[in-house]
């Protein structure tokens, strides 16, 4: 039974690709205003779970609710309040930064002004640069900007800072802190333990399509008797965390 007090709720989600069970009974609940992290090795089911929450894939079994709505059947409502930065997607290569922000802004009822958003992600000097000419880190920042352009109440960020240099990563962390201050709910998929420790209120560790542990970062560390989240990850999942790219 879905709870209407949760911003995101997944109940016994299952998804199979052929003979591979990518998600094998994931359940989790994210509270409004919370920054919730998902950690796991490759193939642990993180991205598939996020795609089901975003309404891009239908689960074989189980339920998803975003602000009490089903992302698949209530698509029109969910898209107005959900901002998504996907791990694998592209933008129109020959459009400039400002053209892309304008385009995505036009899809929402109450968008963030283009100039303000571009400044927020540090792309002001690239405003007339085509997407295909941006560096990987700049493309990532633009992708995050587009996830935020509609003033979402729930934000899904898959691999938030992958490809960003340390300075840009810190700036992006500040953006997440600002989102938290504004009351938005953030679901953050990450490989970076430091990032999860710095930003997340709670973390779910995914192993083989299931939640192996769920707690605050410090709670996971204490539970494992470890000195860091890295060590806790190894102790609780039996696997080495992936290298951060």
Partner 1 sequence: MTTEIQAQRPGLRAWRTLVVCEAKMVARDTSGLIVPLGLPLLILLMSASSAASQVVQNGHTALEVFVLPLALTIVIAMIAIVNMPSFLAYYRRTGILRRLAVTPASPALVLVAQTVVSIVQALLGLTLAVAVAVVGFGAGPPEDLGVAVGVFALASLAMYGIGMMVAALAPTPNSAVAIGLVAFFAVGALGGLFGGMATLPDPLASIGTTLPFGGAVQGLGAAWVGASVEASSLIGMTVTAVVGFAVAAVVFRWE
Residues that bind partner 1 (CB under 8 A): 4-5, 7, 32, 54-56, 67-69, 74, 76-77, 79-82, 84, 86, 88-92, 94-95, 99, 102-104, 106-109, 146, 150
Which residue, 101 or 207, is less far from partner 1 as judged by CB? 101
CB of 85 to partner 1, least distance (A): 9
**Beta strand 185-189 pairing with 154-158:** parallel
CB of 186 to partner 1, least distance (A): 15
Nearest to 30 by CA among 216, 202, 229: 202
CB of 112 to partner 1, least distance (A): 14
Which residues are 15's β-sheet partners?
23
CB of 127 to partner 1, least distance (A): 15
Which residue, 105 or 213, is less far from partner 1 as judged by CB? 105
Nearest to 105 by CA among 122, 90, 83, 87: 83
**DSSP secondary structure string for all residues of 107-127:** TSSSPPPHHHHHHHTT-GGGT
Which residue, 21 or 70, is less far from partner 1 as judged by CB? 70
Which residue, 35 or 66, is less far from partner 1 as judged by CB? 66
∠ Cα 144 36 32 (to 5°): 95
> In this structure, how many other beta carbons lie within 10 angstroms of the beta carbon of residue 223?
14
């Amino acid at each position: 039974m879905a709870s209407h007090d949760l911003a995101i709720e997944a109940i016994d989600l299952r998804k199979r690709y052929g003979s591979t069970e990518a998600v094998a009974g994931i359940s989790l609940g994210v509270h409004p205003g919370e920054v919730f992290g998902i950690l796991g090795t490759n193939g642990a089911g993180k991205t598939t779970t996020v795609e089901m929450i975003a309404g891009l894939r239908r689960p074989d079994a189980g339920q998803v609710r975003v602000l009490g709505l089903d992302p698949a059947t209530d698509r029109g409502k969910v898209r107005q309040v959900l901002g998504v930065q996907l791990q694998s997607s592209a933008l129109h290569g020959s459009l400039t930064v400002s053209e892309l922000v304008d385009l995505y802004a036009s899809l929402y009822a109450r968008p963030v002004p283009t100039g303000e958003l571009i400044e927020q992600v540090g792309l002001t000097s690239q405003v007339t640069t085509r997407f295909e000419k941006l560096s990987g880190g700049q493309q990532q920042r633009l992708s995050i900007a587009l996830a935020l352009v509609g003033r979402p109440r729930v934000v899904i960020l898959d691999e938030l800072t992958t490809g960003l240099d340390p300075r840009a990563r810190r700036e992006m962390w500040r953006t997440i802190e600002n989102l938290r201050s504004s009351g938005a709910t953030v679901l953050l998929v990450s490989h970076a333990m430091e990032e999860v420790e710095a930003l997340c209120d709670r973390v779910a560790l995914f192993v083989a399509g299931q939640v192996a542990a769920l707690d605050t970062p410090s709670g996971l560390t204490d539970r494992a008797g470890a000195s860091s989240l890295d060590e806790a990850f190894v102790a609780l999942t039996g696997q080495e965390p992936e290298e951060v790219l």
